[in-house]
Structure formats: C-alpha cells, structure tokens
Amino acid sequence: MLEHLFSYQRKLFRKYSSITYRRYFFNVIASLKSIMIGIVGARGVGKTTFLVQYLDSIDIPPSKKLYVTADTIPAVSLFEIAEEFAKREGKVLAIDEIHKYPDFEIELKKIYDILDLKVLFSGSSALKIDNSKADLSRRAVIVNVRGLSFREFLEIRDDIKLPVLSLDDIIKNHTDIAYELLDKISLKNRFDEYVQKGYYPFYFEDQDMYLLKLKETVNTVIEVDIPSIFPLEFTTVSKLKKLVYLICESYPYTPNMKELLNKMGMNKADYKNLYR
C-alpha cells in the first residue's frame, strides 16, 4: 500500500521541482508549531504546490514524509494509511483534497488522538471545511489562503523580489514607494494584466489557456464541490451557473435578490431549497 503512495510521491516531487517560487503563506504555515494544520482556499491558489514544497523542504529522510491525495487513495481508510505510515516511523503526513473524503473529520480526529504524526491537510471546498471546524477546532489550526497578491504577481511575472509592505507603510510613504517601483517596471500595464488574469498562479503555466482553465475551475466548484455538500438537483446547478454569469457581467453593486431570482427563472421557494 505505502509503496504505491511513495512511488506517486516521487513522481509528484519531480513534476513540481521546477517551481521555486514560494507563496506568501509558506513561511507562515511552516512556522506553526501545531501538529495538525489545515490549509483552506479556492481551487488553483497553490495548495498542492505548497504541500509538495513543504515536504521537500523538511530535513528528514524521504521515507519519513508522505503525500497522499484523498480522492485517489487505495480502498482503505485514511486512518489505516496514517497508522501504517506511523508504524514505519513516519513523521509528517500531507493529505491533499481532504474534502473529497467522506467524514474526513472523523479520520483526522482519530489520527490526532492516537498517532504520533504531524499532519497537514488541504481542502478546496471552504464550505465543507467550515462545516467541520467545530469538530476540528480543538485539534487543528485552519489557515485560509488566497490567490496571488499584486506583489506576488509582479515577483513571478518579472522575476524580481519586492518588499512586503503594510497598509501603514503605503499610506505614509506611497510617493517614494511608487517612484522606486516605477524605476523597475511599468506598473500600469502590469496592474491591468493582473486584474484580468493574475489572481491564480496557473496563469503562468499556460497564459493562452488561462481563461479556459478558469472556466473549468468555476464549473468544477459548481458541479462537484457544492453538490458534495448540499444535495442539489441538476436544474439548480444550471441556475447557479446562470447566477455566476449574471454577477460577473454586472458592475459592482448591491445585489437585488428579487431581480436576480427573476433573471434566473427562480422563485422564493427555489431560493429557500437552494440554501436549506
């Protein structure tokens, strides 16, 4: 069982070996002393990359750290995998896509209570993790991560290093900061590019395919993630897609639910069923 997982891990490490940039949350999470840490964020913000980079950075033998993804594990429980790994003197277990595993909070509690392992787990479905926070609150530190900041986008885009600035720094020294940045890059052009396509790191994997991949990500959230938490009919899923489209084509405004429901062909009863 573990041999197969270690083989998959070696292939994954090779695949991600060319990614050297570390997101803003790498050092934040790496510095935490908790033995169970959850990383929650939207699909595509770099959670898998972080887990691989984190495991690779730990100065322990490869046999003592293990990456598994919850949607492709063998026909055994997460606890059984963790138990077998602990018996082999494993130290750090990273579980990706945890929200795809049924009753994952029960498995994580057993691992925490019984085994001597440090566990990191990630979930793309914030709703499902949030619904389980009450069960995990005494055991796990939950870290919510976001997409690329403009600073991170510039660092990756132009292969430069920029200082982390607080809001107070920007308010007090914005003129000097702007002059220094303008000496290095064209901020206007870069900001326009960032606003249109720069939130998700996968933009740099294939810029021409970014919008298609973004569309696929949104569809996966609506078609897979949300129905995995709330039992929805196919027609409701279709209406959710229409809702996303209506919001995206609108300028920033305060949503009028009655108007949105009319445009979606829904009534108040449909709305209540959706959020039951």
Contacts of 247 (CB under 8 A, 6+ apart): 255
Q: How far apart are CA 123 and CA 13, in angstroms?
A: 20
User: What confidence score (pLDDT) does residue 130 get?
Assistant: 59
Q: How far apart are CA 95 and CA 151, in angstroms?
A: 29
User: What confidence score (pLDDT) does residue 273 get?
Assistant: 56
User: What confidence score (pLDDT) does residue 251 get?
Assistant: 74
User: What confidence score (pLDDT) does residue 213 get?
Assistant: 92
User: What confidence score (pLDDT) does residue 197 get?
Assistant: 92
- Tokens 């209540």: give the residue: 272
Q: How far apart are CA 153 and CA 147, in angstroms?
A: 10
Contacts of 220 (CB under 8 A, 6+ apart): 43
User: What confidence score (pLDDT) does residue 37 get?
Assistant: 95
pTM greater than the 0.75 cutoff: yes
Q: Cβ(128)–Cβ(100) under 8 Å?
A: no
**Mean pLDDT of each 10-residue bin along the chain, 276 residues long:** 88 90 94 93 92 95 93 82 95 91 88 95 69 66 92 93 90 90 85 93 92 90 77 78 81 74 68 56
User: What confidence score (pLDDT) does residue 70 get?
Assistant: 85
